Amino acid sequence: MDAFVTAMLSQSDALPHDPLFQAGRQVAEAEERREQQMHILSRLAQGSPARIYAEHVLSEIERTIVLSRMHRELIQNLLG
């Protein structure tokens, strides 16, 4: 988890409806899903249909992280 997200999540005064807080939380949640998916992948046999599907899911999670970070940056720029 990057330092920005850690700082965002540790702020006790951040309101759940704050768009920047929400965007930071989305990034953190997607990064957590990526870690879980990587753990699942590590237990699957190379070339198996389950692993191929799990790799596809991981690539979609990675794509989500990129989009979520872009969304967070856009919000920062609009608010800044």
pLDDT of amino acid 24? 96
pLDDT for position 7: 61
pLDDT of res. 49: 97
Q: What is the reported pLDDT for 17?
A: 85
pLDDT of residue 12: 55
Query: Mean pLDDT by 10-residue block, N- to C-terminus, for the chain (80 residues)?
Result: 59 73 96 98 97 98 98 94
The residue ranges of every structural domain in the chain are 33-80
Q: Please state, in angstroms and as integers, the Cα–Cα distance from residue 74 to each residue in 17, 63, 78, 80, following that order.
A: 17, 17, 6, 10
Tell me the CA distances in angstroms from 17 to 13, 21, 24, one per residue in order: 12, 8, 12
